[in-house]
C-alpha cells in the first residue's frame, strides 16, 4: 500500500525557498524540503492520545514514498528529521 495515498491529518512535509550566496557572491534560490518521521512504536508509547486518532508506518517505507514526491515538487535539498530511539 502506498503511503502517499493515506488519509492524512496534515501535509507530511514542507518546502521553503531560501536565497543563498555562492562563493562568487551571486544570489541563488534553493528549495529546502523538510519532513519528519516517528517510529510506529509511538502508538504504544502514547496510546492514550493516539489510539483511534492516528496510524503510523515504517520510517523507511514512508521516506521511500514521500521524498521522491518532494523532489518532484522541486526540493533541491531534503532535510529529514527522525525520532528513531
pLDDT, one tens digit per residue, over 3-48 is 888 888 889 999 999 999 999 999 999 999 999 998 888 888 889 9
Query: 63 in the Ramachandran plot: left (φ > 0), alpha (ψ -120 to 50) or beta?
Result: alpha
Round to whole Å and give the CA distance between 22 and 15. 21
Cα separation, 85 vs 79, whole angstroms: 18
Query: Residues 3, 55: contact at Cβ < 8 Å?
Result: no
* Distance of alpha carbon 81 from alpha carbon 85, whole angstroms: 12
Kindly report, residue by residue over 59-84, the tens digit of the pLDDT.
Answer: 999 999 999 999 999 999 999 999 87
Beta-carbon count within 10 A of 58 CB: 12
How do the domains of the chain map onto residue ranges?
13-82
Amino acid at each position: 500500500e502506498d503511503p502517499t495515498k493515506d488519509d492524512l491529518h496534515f501535509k507530511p512535509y514542507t518546502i521553503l525557498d531560501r536565497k543563498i550566496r555562492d562563493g562568487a557572491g551571486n544570489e541563488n534560490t534553493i528549495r529546502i524540503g523538510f519532513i519528519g518521521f516517528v517510529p510506529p512504536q509511538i502508538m504504544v508509547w502514547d496510546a492514550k492520545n493516539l489510539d483511534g486518532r492516528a496510524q503510523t508506518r515504517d520510517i523507511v517505507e514512508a521516506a521511500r514514498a514521500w521524498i521522491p514526491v518532494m523532489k518532484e515538487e522541486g526540493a533541491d535539498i531534503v532535510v529529514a528529521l527522525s525520532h528513531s530511539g
